[in-house]
Amino acid sequence: MEPEKTQNAKKVIFSAIQPSGTITLGNYLGALKNWIGLQDEYDCIYALADLHTITVRQEPAKFRRNALEAYALLLACGIDPQKSPFFVQSQVSEHAQLAWILNCYTQFGELQRMTQFKDKSQKHPDNINAGLFTYPSLMAADILLYQADLVPVGVDQKQHIELTRNIAERFNGLYGQTFKLPDGYIPKTGAKIMSLQDPTHKMSKSDENVNASIAVLDRPEDIMRKFKRAVTDSEACVRRAPGKDGVNNLMGIYTCVTGRTDEQIEAEFAGKGYGDFKAAVGEAVVEHLRPIHEKFDEYIKNKDYLEACYAQGAQKAEAIARKTLRKVMKKVGFLQQKF
């Protein structure tokens, strides 16, 4: 559903992504592509959610490199930091402060129902830390600090946004109108890109099988090879149908990067085999990503520019976040700092 627009004030958009590894085609088509397209019509604020990333153990040097690369890659994808403040979550301390407060308005049972918590605890049984459990109240703080109307994300984050609304509603109910209630903004196609090796599971940054996911920065030859090896079915007919998870997924990816509808794709590949289809999807993805690769190569060489950019982003974000946090602290009843 298209978000409705008001005539005067622009609506506020907030979203974030974790610098937890290589950014995938799933992240790009499910979330980032939308972030870019919304910048003219909305007041957008974007962040690298690095506080969220340490819910899974990180090696410090690699974590730092991932964060800088993710920042450069998002600029290369088209975030315009002059239009949309783009900052690093750990550099705006209001996020951690509001998260603590919201933790006290979030029920244990609510957090226990989160599927991401259940999945990640299964994946990392040796490190089921408290941060992994309370991850959604930090995400709620991220969104609520900016009084966001809309949050562009992939479908897997829908449950966290619903919890954010519940926390905001509970707080507003206790203390009067404080937070705007946000809605998710989930794309029609691309909201859940599936693994190329097991198309019943979502494509994920942290998949151990390298052929399962495409990284936005993968070399063209690797992208082509991964698409050629993508799991399909034995029918050898390019059409969307229940049970044809692999083909449905490839058709969805093709639609996202070419704008073609299912009918157009079915007509294009009528009488052709999966070999031709997979090669065409691979080529379309390579072409779509080519300008992003070129811009990334420029940004990543310019560390001074990246540092200046995220410093400025943090300053702009903090000015907004500070106001919400002050309001919240006053309402809860904390002593106010006068000097």
Of 56-64, 73-81, 138-146, 192-200, which part binds ligand LTN (CB under 6 A)? Answer: 138-146
Among 22, 103, 204, 255, binds ligand ATP (CB under 6 A): 204
C-alpha to C-alpha distance for 6 and 9, rounded to whole angstroms: 7
C-alpha to C-alpha distance for 83 and 44, rounded to whole angstroms: 8
- Closest among 142, 147, 151, 225 to 184, alpha carbons compared: 151
**Sign of dihedral through CA atoms 227, 228, 231, 235?**
positive
| Integer CA distances (angstroms), 206 to 148, 215, 322, in order | 29, 11, 34
State the minimum distance, in angstroms, from the CB of residue 27 to ligand LTN. 8
Residue 236 is given by DSSP the state: -
Active site residue 205: yes
State the minimum distance, in angstroms, from the CB of residue 338 to ligand ATP. 41
Binding to ligand LTN (CB under 6 A) within 156-175 occurs at: 157, 160
State the minimum distance, in angstroms, from the CB of residue 218 to ligand ATP. 14
- Does 16 sit near ligand LTN (CB under 6 A)? yes
Which residue is catalytic, options 158, 205, 228, 295?
205
The dihedral region occupied by 241, where left means phi > 0, alpha psi between -120 and 50, and beta the remainder, is beta
- Does 22 sit near ligand ATP (CB under 6 A)? no
202 binds, among ligand LTN, ligand ATP, none (CB under 5 to 8 A by kind): ligand ATP
User: Can you name the residues that pair with 24 across neighbouring β-strands?
Assistant: 215
Which residue is catalytic, options 33, 202, 226, 244?
202
With b for 16 or more beta-carbon neighbours within 10 A and e for fewer, the 206-222 pattern comes to ebeeebbbbbbbbeeeb
- Does 18 sit near ligand ATP (CB under 6 A)? yes
**Sign of dihedral through CA atoms 220, 221, 224, 225?**
negative
- Does 20 sit near ligand ATP (CB under 6 A)? yes
Which residue is catalytic, options 11, 33, 120, 226?
120
Under 8 Å between Cβ of 146 and 45: yes
Binding to ligand LTN (CB under 6 A) within 242-271 occurs at: none
C-alpha to C-alpha distance for 70 and 77, rounded to whole angstroms: 10
User: Can you name the residues that pair with 152 across neighbouring β-strands?
Assistant: 185
141 binds, among ligand ATP, ligand LTN, none (CB under 5 to 8 A by kind): none
142 binds, among ligand LTN, ligand ATP, none (CB under 5 to 8 A by kind): ligand LTN
Nearer to ligand ATP, 85 or 184 (CB): 184
Of 14-22, 219-227, 244-252, 286-294, which part binds ligand LTN (CB under 6 A)? Answer: 14-22
- Does 192 sit near ligand ATP (CB under 6 A)? yes
Would you tell me the crossing angle of helices 115-123 and 130-145 to the nearest 10 degrees? 140
Query: Which H or E run includes 240?
Result: none
User: What residue ranges bind ligand ATP (CB under 6 A)?
Assistant: 17-18, 20, 24, 26-27, 30-31, 153-154, 156-157, 191-193, 202-206
Query: Mind telling me the catalytic residues?
Result: 120, 202, 205
